Structure 1
Amino acid sequence: MDFDVIQGDIAVQSADALVNAAGTSLRMGSGVAGALRRGAGQQINEEAMDEGPIDLGAVAVTDAYDLEAEYVIHAAAMPHYGDGEATAESIRDATRNSLECADELGCRSLVIPALGCGVAGFDLTEGGEIIGEEIDAYEPEALEEVRVIAYSDEEYDAIRAATGEAEESKRTDGRKADR
């Protein structure tokens, strides 16, 4: 399975499935969820909330609507807003469950953000290491490509360093990383 770290906006990525950094309520507020909601349209939030709440570390699937994907996998790496922060275990479970879900759906490509490392408050470097470990350990059936996406330069650099992808990473505009 190919693995890469890219920088950009998850809402403009093209893949079979995109992963939403969700809270257990599945309400799509800000951050990654907000970007996906704005790109897909309000109906994705309504469908997601119909699927929730879910357990911490679990996933739910919705249509991707107006996004360049077939599915959005909502991965609950953090509790409902204000009910606590992400943990190493919740990030590990949400990552593994996202990979398994994409595989079960027959997806060949998946884009996943730094689950639990934004508004959920988990350390970006440690979170990147956990996500990288789960991707490395996963043995796919259908899944051929996983891209971990970072929005900011700081997030991009931290995830690249944490996952050991510094030499192979590319920005979403196709330029080789110049760092």
Structure 2
Amino acid sequence: MDFTIIQGNIAEQAADCLVNAAGTSLAMGSGVAGALRDAANGPINEAAMAQGPVPLGGVAVTDAYDLPAKWVIHAAAMPHHGDGRATEQSIREATRHALEKADELGCRSLVIPPLGCGVAGFDLAVGARLILEEIARFAPRTLAEVRLIVYRPEDQQTVETVARQVRDDG
């Protein structure tokens, strides 16, 4: 499956589904989760936490409330307790499960951030490669458009370079 790289605020992206970079408790704190929580204008944090905790790599779905999407998929790429660090396995599993859940919901478009690469401390270039490899090998039924979004303009070039490598390898 192909993908595009964009830069901006995930809470402003119109898509069937937005992916939240969550911890296993599904509590929506800072970073991507905070941006989505603040823009949703509804009890999205409570709705997410009511489904937690989930296993590392697991996902939960909530309504998107006032976000320009139908659903938010909360993908747990990092543990809530302990050192709170993402791993290669947790990033791959959270990405794969988010893609599968979006497809199961009948979504055509999805926006996903670099799971595990913010608060969870995973290297952006390595994490982006893991995510893009999972997207590239995913065989969707309904999902037609996947956008990997970075917040900081300086991160876009890093992820674009990784994206070229993944496309060349594929």
Q: Which residue of 2 aligns with 1:84?
A: 84
SS of 1:126 mapped into structure 2: helix
CA shift at 1:67, angstroms?
0.2
SS of 1:51 mapped into structure 2: coil
Per-residue deviation, residues 45-88 of structure 1 (Å, max 9, x unmatched): 01001011100000000000000000000000001055430000
Rounded Cα–Cα distance in structure 2 between residues aligned with 1:90 and 1:42: 28
Q: Which residue of 1 aligns with 2:117?
A: 117
Structure 2: gaps (5+ residues): 166-170
Matching of residues 24-43 of structure 1 within 5 Å? 24-43=24-43
- If the length of structure 2 is used for normalisation, what is the TM-score? 0.94
Q: Which residue of 1 aligns with 2:168?
A: none
Q: Which residue of 1 aligns with 2:131?
A: 131
Runs of 4+ in structure 1 deviating by more than 6 angstroms, as ranges, are none
Rounded Cα–Cα distance in structure 2 between residues aligned with 1:163 and 1:82: 32
Identity of aligned residues (%): 65
Per-residue deviation, residues 92-124 of structure 1 (Å, max 9, x unmatched): 000000000000000000000000000000000
Rounded Cα–Cα distance in structure 2 between residues aligned with 1:141 and 1:43: 31
Rounded Cα–Cα distance in structure 2 between residues aligned with 1:101 and 1:95: 10
The one-letter code matched in structure 1 to 2:84 is G
Alignment pair present for 1:99 and 2:99: yes
CA shift at 1:128, angstroms?
0.6
CA shift at 1:154, angstroms?
2.4
Count matched residues: 165
CA shift at 1:42, angstroms?
4.3
SS of 2:3 mapped into structure 1: strand
Structure 1: gaps (5+ residues): 166-179
Q: Which moved more, 1:147-156 or 1:57-66?
A: 147-156
The one-letter code matched in structure 1 to 2:49 is M
